Structure 1
Amino acid sequence: MGKRKRKNKGTKEEPEDLVKAPHSFVIRKGNVGKHVEQLMQDFRIVMEPFTASNLKLRKKNVIKDFVSISSYLNVTHLAIFTRTDKSPYFRLIRMPRGPTITFKIAEYSLTHDVISSLRKPHVNSTLFHTSPLLVMNGFTNNEDLKFKLMTSMLRNMFPTIDIHKIKLGTIKRCVLFNYDHESGHIEFRHYAIKVKPVGLSNTVRKLMTGKKIPDLGQFSNVEEAIEQSQMATFTESEGEGDEHDETRHVTLPQKLNIRGSLKNEKSSIRLVELGPRMSLELVKIEDGVMTGEVLYHSYITKTNEEIQETKQKMDIKKTKKQ
């Protein structure tokens, strides 16, 4: 008898929106030290789920290795952390042909430091199953070419959102880029989004959420517990002021997978910082992948003649490579 032919199980194709979503590699180059190494790992978590979280780096790896495989893996951005004697740097490259933007990391805080400073940290692995919401502040009303290019690069790192199709329950994090026009620095922050219903007493809220069941043994019935909870004085602490802060109140257009958060009902939104933090200063913009013409440099200015000479040298190099 002939052998049975094995049926090849066809691989499922990814949905089109996932394929078109921005994907990234986050790596370090050279000896950066343990703190910048950890900052790189923290930034990988920020870029979840469209990044290579467990990407292992070798000393033999060069930038061309990542560029060559970027098209096969739908990778659109390469984030590189480096360090010199003066400061750490953050490079952002649009794959596979550039441009490359270099930022100086003026200040930074690791995720561990941010979480340890909070009284009530919010850490949950389900937060990273979906991409974060991008919030950009201070990037409008500027006609400068370098500013537009920088804004476009930062914006395209994260997936776009269709407000007509998005499910609010999938938005669990947000990333903030705040541009300070006075200092010229970009402040980077990473938050978790917490939603809870308003207009409920603490006892009722605990019963609805089911996270912490209050002790009802001292009451004869539930009605007595609710009445006493409403009469109790409100103590102000972290997050408890949301009930009276109307600036945080929103009317939900959709029902969320949170008990008490119903459609057309008011809920309170609070941001809990996840980390890391970075204060970025734009240093250089260059065409191509770290080897092209310098379009902008914050420390070096060139005359038109010097720019033409540089272009001629770059053209000669390109012709030799061909």
Structure 2
Amino acid sequence: MGRFRNKSRKPFVKPIGGKAPTVDHVTGDKIPKSFVFSRGKLPGPLKQLQMDLRKLMLPYTALKLKETKRNNLRDFVTLASGMHVTHFLILSKTDSAPYLRVALMKHGPTLTFKIHKYSLAADIAQSQLRPRCPLELFKTPPLIVLSGFGTGEQHLKLTTNIFQTIFPAIDINTVKLSSCQRIVLLNYDKETKLIDFRHYSIRLQPVGVSRRIRKFVQNHQVPDLRSLQDVSDFLTKAGYGSESEADDEAATVNLSSDIGRVNRASTRSAVKLQEIGPRMTLQLVKIEQGLCAGDVLFNEYGNVNAKKSENEEENEQESDEEMDRDEQEVEEEQEQETETS
């Protein structure tokens, strides 16, 4: 017997963060939440990049969002409205390159980035001698740092505003240092017009404490001293009597509160950043006024003062054809909402 399928099937998603609040109880601001999904068929590595981006956006994202080929952009907009979602991150792939769109719900704007290069979180971990990525890192949202965007150009100002609102704002007077576990860094190079996207974990190490003592306090384990003549040998053994890395004065901070068992208040600790991925090299190619639709506010290939090669023109045409299939539907829906209001 044949199976009957529901042609109007919508994407399935569990509630973001369970009973997560929608408003920050300290600042009173609306907590930004996100959907990360794709448009069109993605190859295996890009599917993994999509999962890495979902993990990066935790805890205020839908980690187990399930999509089908029949889902269109309107399905996600309808679902997002009831879940207080504020941002869309949309991956797509053309014959020339993959693209990432960052859209603000519900009426835009939409930023379109061309992904020149990317590395998955697994690739980053494999390249490290001691990879570190505990699950506790993703219980709080990352901090975001933007560098090089202050050129005064209008499209970069708009890009800065979108990325500054993609994660919850912090109040430096009330923020808990223990909640600052990750950082997202975006660095803009005005010469190449490329954006380096990096994701790091933050860890603190007390200055002037040997590695053996630090590990002993952190792990709650009694060390094996049978091969030593005296307990002082444990502290002064070659290679462990001092830190293996020199303490950089510029990378040390005075703590205002206790963090863990070894980083105590009023002591100096060294700030260590370790990349956990994903890593991307992006180029802003277009800004649209609406949600994946509307007037084009910026187009990298549309600058009359710049000379475009034939390949650039072909890439732009492919991008417009394959990435904007749902624009007409969304534009019509927005027009209907305007007439109703």
Compute the TM-score of the two structures, normalised by the length of structure 1.
0.83
> How far apart, in 2, do the equivalents of 1:62 and 1:279 lie?
28
Deviations 1:167-196 (CA, angstroms, capped at 9, x unpaired): 000111111111111111111011111112
What runs of 5+ residues in structure 1 fail to find an aligned partner? 1-10, 304-313
1:144 and 2:153 correspond: yes
2:6 maps to which residue?
none
Deviations 1:222-247 (CA, angstroms, capped at 9, x unpaired): 34533x34xx35699xx931x43323
Letter in 2 for 1:196: Q
| Equivalent pair of 2:97/2:114 in contact (CA under 8 Å) | yes
Name whichever of 286-295 and 43-52 sits farther off.
286-295
> How far apart, in 2, do the equivalents of 1:98 and 1:56 lie?
23
3-state secondary structure, aligned to 2:91: strand
2:234 to 209, 225, 232: 225
| Equivalent pair of 1:206/1:213 in contact (CA under 8 Å) | no
1:189 and 2:194 correspond: no
| Equivalent pair of 2:210/2:240 in contact (CA under 8 Å) | no
1:290 maps to which residue?
292
1:85 maps to which residue?
95
Size of the aligned set, in residue pairs, is 292
Letter in 2 for 1:25: F
1:17 and 2:24 correspond: yes
| Equivalent pair of 2:22/2:84 in contact (CA under 8 Å) | no
Compute the TM-score of the two structures, normalised by the length of structure 2.
0.79
Letter in 2 for 1:180: D
Deviations 1:71-90 (CA, angstroms, capped at 9, x unpaired): 32110000100010000000
**How far is the alpha carbon of 1:252 from its aligned partner?**
0.9
3-state secondary structure, aligned to 2:49: helix
Q: After the TM superposition, which segments of 4 or more aligned residues of structure 1 sit over 4 Å from their partners? A: 233-236, 317-322
1:163 maps to which residue?
172
**How far is the alpha carbon of 1:206 from its aligned partner?**
2.4
3-state secondary structure, aligned to 1:66: helix
Greater C-alpha Rg: 1
> How far apart, in 2, do the equivalents of 1:106 and 1:294 lie?
22
Letter in 2 for 1:189: R
1:240 maps to which residue?
244
Deviations 1:258-293 (CA, angstroms, capped at 9, x unpaired): 222011101111111111110000100111111201
1:198 to 191, 200, 207: 207
CA-atom RMSD in angstroms: 2.6
Aligned sequence identity (%): 38
Letter in 2 for 1:260: V
Name whichever of 263-272 and 16-25 sits farther off.
16-25
1:262 to 261, 264, 288: 264
What runs of 5+ residues in structure 2 fail to find an aligned partner? 1-17, 306-327
2:130 to 104, 120, 139: 120
**How far is the alpha carbon of 1:48 from its aligned partner?**
0.4
**How far is the alpha carbon of 1:20 from its aligned partner?**
1.8
Against the structure 1 CA distance between its residues 220 and 233, is the aligned structure 2 distance closer, same or farther, given a 3 Å change threshold? closer
| Equivalent pair of 1:206/1:214 in contact (CA under 8 Å) | no
1:42 maps to which residue?
52
Letter in 2 for 1:166: V
| Equivalent pair of 1:284/1:296 in contact (CA under 8 Å) | yes
> How far apart, in 2, do the equivalents of 1:17 and 1:25 lie?
19
> How far apart, in 1, do the equivalents of 2:38 and 2:275 lie?
24
> How far apart, in 2, do the equivalents of 1:37 and 1:218 lie?
51
Letter in 1 for 2:256: P
